[in-house]
Structure 1
Amino acid sequence: METQRLVLPEDLNHLGFLFGGRLLAWVDEASWIAASLDYPHCQFVTVGMDKVEFHHSVRQGTILSIRCEREREGTTSVSYRVEVFDRRNPGASPIFGTLVSYVSVDDTGRKRALR
């Protein structure tokens, strides 16, 4: 799955670059949507991200492409490889990449099988 985001003034930190927490929220949201589309009968909660390291700064007006691909499936959990690119610079290396893991839960918050 792939989605795009436009970096707006309210997404910037005090130095004029994309606030890291905002990007993490977008990554979490995009990969949660991917998981929810792949497993429409499941309710997911985020377990974690394997590594948080920003490779390039991002300025206002940048169009980001957030790409999510399922990497691992367990009994109750699933993980997605997420990479973020500058949409206008398709040959460039990713701005950010991580592995986001989710667990399927029931209405009481207990783990539930994916299938």
Structure 2
Amino acid sequence: MTLMPKKSNDSLIQMTELVLPNDTNTFGNLMGGRLMYWMDIASALAAMKHCAAPTVTASVDNISFENPIKLGNVVHIEAKVTRAFNTSMEVHMKVWGEDPVQQSRYKSNEAFMTFVALDPNGNSRPVPAVIPETEEEKLLFEGAMRRRQLRLVLSGRMKPQDASELKALFYDQL
């Protein structure tokens, strides 16, 4: 069975949430765990949209919080698949906060998550390749193999000496 490649932008999901009192900490900022929950949902939807199958979260890369999102502000999450491997997909997310009164939008964070597609029996299944079109999509696509190798090395599923893409980053510079 040959899967037809899909454009990265075809998996685009845009999710919007309002920060309510139950979503905040004692400083009136959106709790990080709540934002990660929303990011997991948005990225899972992008992965499912890409492969037309149920997916599960396989890994979450480092999430750095650049700017807090305040009570009463709006959260905008944009997620799309950057690259597909055999049964897994990397999803990139950008997160913005928006103050609806001041009508200003600001970057909160961005992150990568990896999802695995499942067949009806709960086993991993092949996913379509990704076709990057924009310059940003092409950069994310090219960097995805290095990020994948880093994830595999850090999880102990790949030996550092086998991470050729990562080694090239360091040894090509010498």
TM-score with structure 1 setting the length: 0.88
> Aligned residue pairs: how many?
112
CA-CA distance at 1:113 after TM superposition: 1.2
Distance 1:58 1:84 in 2: 10
**Counterpart of 1:104 in structure 2: which amino acid?**
A
Percent identity, aligned pairs only, is 29
Within the candidate set 20, 38, 48, 1:36 is matched to 48
SS at match of 2:104: coil
1:108 CA displacement = 4.0
Superposed displacement of residue 21, structure 1: 0.2
* CA RMSD in angstroms, aligned pairs only: 1.5
Corresponding residue number in structure 2 for 1:114: 127
- In the superposition, the TM-score normalised over structure 2's length comes to 0.60
| Superposition map of 1:30-109 within 5 A | 30-40=42-52, 42-87=53-98, 88-90=103-105, 92=106, 94-109=107-122
Whichever structure has more helix as a proportion of its residues is 2
Whole-Å Cα distance in 2 between the matches of residues 7 and 58 of structure 1?
8
> Which ranges of structure 2 fall in alignment gaps of 5 or more residues?
1-12, 129-174
Q: RCO (CA 8 Å, sep 6+): is it higher in 1 or 2?
A: 1
CA distance in structure 2 between the partners assigned to 1:78 and 1:113 by the alignment:
10
Alpha-carbon distance in 1 for matches of 2:104, 2:51: 32
- Superposed CA deviations along residues 27-55 of structure 1, whole A, max 9, x for unmatched, are 00011111112222x12000111111111
Larger radius of gyration: 2
Higher strand share: 1
4+ residue segments displaced more than 6 Å: none
Q: Counterparts of 1:89 and 1:47 in 2: how far apart (Å)?
A: 34
